[in-house]
Every structure is written in C-alpha cells, then in structure tokens.
Structure 1
C-alpha cells in the first residue's frame, strides 16, 4: 500500500495527488512538559499517529498527511521546563507559510488537525485570515474533541482528554512503547477536579498554578488496551470527517 505520509512520497507522486484533488491533513501539535512520566513530545507523537491511522482507515479518500508542526502555543507550560512556544504572530506566519506551500503545489483542500489544547483559540482566530490570504478550502479540528463522545465510555476517571492523563498516557503506551517512565507513574496525577476558573471569565494561568506535577487527571488509570481503544476511537472520528471532505 502506498504511504499516506507526505515525507514518504516523491515530488512526482505528490504532484499526482494534487492533480487528483487529494485532501492534505496538516497535523499541528506541541513540544511541552507532560508530567514526570511522559516525554515532552506526547502531543506531536499522538497527533501524527492519529492522523496517519485516520488517513489509512479512510482508504476510499485520497489523503496526504503532511509532517506534524511540532511547536504551538504553550506559554502555560513554560514554567515546568522542556517546552517550546510560539507567540501569536509567529504561529500565524508559520501556519500561513505552510498553507501557501501546499497551495503552490496544486492542492485545494486542507484539514488542520490539532493535538494540543493551547492551539485551539489561535486556530479558530486564524481561519478568516487563511480564507482571505489563500484560495484553499481550510477546515480545522481538534482530534480529541472530535472523538469526545466515543472516548468518554472508555475511561474510568474523566470524560475526555485532560493533560498527561489517563487518555494521553494510555495512547502513548500503545503508540510509543517504551516512552513511559514507569517508575514515575505513581506520581502522575493532579488537579483531578479539572482546571480552575470562573465561567465566562478568561485569564492566563501557568500550569504551575494548577498542578504541582504537571498532570491534570490521573495517569495511574492508563493501560495499553485502553490506549488502543482510544486511538481507534480518535482515528474513526477523524476518518469520518475525511470522508465528508472527500465527498464535498
């Protein structure tokens, strides 16, 4: 089977995909702290893995998965170390440059798939700019929100993805065996009531104000089996969206 990954294809093969009006999936993620038990690349590993699995599942749609943008909006994690972050103008400029490159190669449809909560507001705000400054049809989604209804029944202590939690730890067990620092798993819980704040009031908070461990949720509930089920749920939800775009 021909790879769905942009980096595995030749320039000639990519030109052919563009001529067939393939949908380009652009995964966007983050490099940031994920508690004492997980590496900082969690969001990048998971987002890329979900996008690849979804594209392979939606085999009836011509899909190319671009390389994952590994840096995003992660100021709230900086206090823990190990984190890279963009500011808003830089993030917008990088994404626009990537989209314009995709456009110049003859593609017309792009699905930005986000794997980091801190990127959501920025991506929503950028969509009008992308519509104005390119001729692309651009849609954006956050894969774990797209699959939220399917994830809930698979979990013990939470309704969806939090941070370095039951879901993310389980999915890393499935996608990146050996990445988990198992001796530290007993420390990997925090802020289990969710993130603090007042309804309809926003302010910036460092994760240091929210959790001593860098974890929101309880990673001690994680398992490989749960990770495989969560990955399958996320890939299925995203594949459904790709099929919708393919029919449009």
Structure 2
C-alpha cells in the first residue's frame, strides 16, 4: 500500500504526486467537550481517519495525499463545558487560506477540505467560496458524514444521523480508537436529539450555548454504540468520499 499521509512523505515524493495532479485532502475537525465518555479530539480524529481510508481507496484510481489535520474549528457553543478550544471565523479563514496557499505553491491544484464537525459546516461553506476567489483555485468542501449520510443512517439504531458524542460518534471511536473510550461513563452518555444547524428547517437561527441543550454534553444516546456500527460507518463514509474524489468535481 502506498503512503498517503503528507507528513510521512518526503518533499521529492510530494513533488512527484503534484506532477501527477494528485488530489489533496485537508481534514478539519474540532477540539471540544464530548460528554463524559469521549476525549475532546473526537471530530479531529474521525475526520483524519476517514480521510486516510478514503485516500487509500482512491489511490487505486488517482494520486491522492492527506495533509495533517486542522484540530481546532468553530466551537464557541461548547465553551461553557470547559476543555474546549475554539477559533474565530477570521482566524479559521486565515489558517485555511495559508494552508491551501502552501499546498498550491507545492504544485497541487485539486484540494478537498473534509470536515468532521457540525459546527464548522456553515462557516466552511462560505469560506470555500472566499478561498476559491482569493487563491484563483477551485477549492471543494465536504463533510464526511454528509458524503456518507446513507450508510450512517442505515448503521444507527436510535438516530438518523450524527448528533454529538452520540451513538454514531461513539461507535466510530470504538472502532478507530477504542483505548480512548471511558467505558465506565457510558451509562451517563445520553441526551436529547438535535438537528445540525446546517440541516435545520427552522426559519430563524440564533446562537445557543450547548449547555442549554444538554447538561451531559451529549446529544443522542451513546449507550447503544458498538464497534461494529462504527466500522460500518467509517468504511462507508470513506468509500463515499473516495467516490467523490474519483468523480473529480474540480473538472466541472
């Protein structure tokens, strides 16, 4: 299996990939509270894992490389719980602009930002347009759980999509990073069902601190999570993302 991670490749190997017009995946997550049973790095870890798996699959058809992940995103709504790091929108814009500019200067022209945090979605939609204009390069954006929406829905028992520290995220962490699960706290890992802001049908949006939604820090029910469900979701989301890469949205 060929190496797909940018920071495990040499400069010469990356120049060769750029010469092949390889696709660059840029995973972005968040560092924020994830209830009593999960570490703060969930969104970062899962975005990076799905990107790695997708790159391995897509590499059978095209050149592809995964940059180091951006571990911090837009998490103001989780600050009340502690343990959370957040960026402002201008800082995230500047950070992504500089990373993408570096990727382009390294010779690449096809960049896909892959998101793993629901709170980043609306901001990244807007920033993708800004970056495409500023860098004169078509930047693409996808949330891995949006690309794999159908397999996520089919794998879950108690919810239709990912929520927060829920059945879905907990299952994927059980599959990818079982050593990081605080199993003794799973009994407390449940809360109300929510809809991601980007998928909401409410006519009015207002910023709401997450501690007003759930006292546990969990939305959904992690008590029914299993590693088998997690593996199905990770594999399915990676396959869906690989399909997007191979279809080459930059060619449109």
TM-score interval, normalised by the smaller of the two chains? over 0.9
Equivalent in the alignment of 1:230:
233
Following TM superposition, where does structure 1 have runs of at least 4 consecutive aligned residues deviating by more than 4 angstroms? 193-198
> RMSD over aligned Cα, in angstroms?
1.6
Q: CA deviation at 1:110?
A: 0.1
CA contact (8 A) 1:194 1:216 kept: no
CA contact (8 A) 1:25 1:65 kept: yes
1:209 aligns with 2:212: yes
Q: CA deviation at 1:170?
A: 0.4
CA contact (8 A) 1:31 1:42 kept: yes
CA contact (8 A) 1:195 1:210 kept: no
Deviation digits for residues 2-37 of structure 1, max 9, x if unmatched?
210001100011011111100000001100000000
CA contact (8 A) 1:62 1:246 kept: no
Equivalent in the alignment of 1:243:
246
When the two structures are superposed, what TM-score results if normalisation uses the length of structure 1? Answer: 0.96
Where in structure 2 are the equivalents of 1:67-216 lying within 5 Å? 67-192=68-193, 194=195, 199-216=202-219
Q: CA deviation at 1:193?
A: 5.7
Counterpart-to-counterpart distance in 2, 1:176 and 1:188: 17
Task: Classify the secondary structure of the residue corresponding to 1:24.
Answer: strand
Counterpart-to-counterpart distance in 2, 1:73 and 1:57: 29
Q: 1:219 to 1:247 in 2, by over 3 A?
A: same
CA contact (8 A) 2:163 2:194 kept: no
Indicate the larger mover: 53-62 or 238-247: 238-247
CA contact (8 A) 1:23 1:246 kept: no
Counterpart-to-counterpart distance in 2, 1:157 and 1:90: 36
Q: CA deviation at 1:57?
A: 1.2
Aligned length, in residue pairs: 248
Structure 2, unmatched stretches of 5+, are none
Q: CA deviation at 1:195?
A: 7.1
When the two structures are superposed, what TM-score results if normalisation uses the length of structure 2? Answer: 0.95
CA contact (8 A) 2:4 2:64 kept: yes
Counterpart-to-counterpart distance in 2, 1:153 and 1:231: 13
Task: Classify the secondary structure of the residue corresponding to 2:248.
Answer: helix
Counterpart-to-counterpart distance in 2, 1:172 and 1:109: 29
Q: CA deviation at 1:128?
A: 2.2
Counterpart-to-counterpart distance in 2, 1:39 and 1:158: 22
Equivalent in the alignment of 1:17:
17
CA contact (8 A) 1:173 1:227 kept: yes
Counterpart-to-counterpart distance in 1, 2:91 and 2:164: 25
Counterpart-to-counterpart distance in 2, 1:198 and 1:141: 20
Q: CA deviation at 1:99?
A: 0.6
Counterpart-to-counterpart distance in 2, 1:187 and 1:110: 40
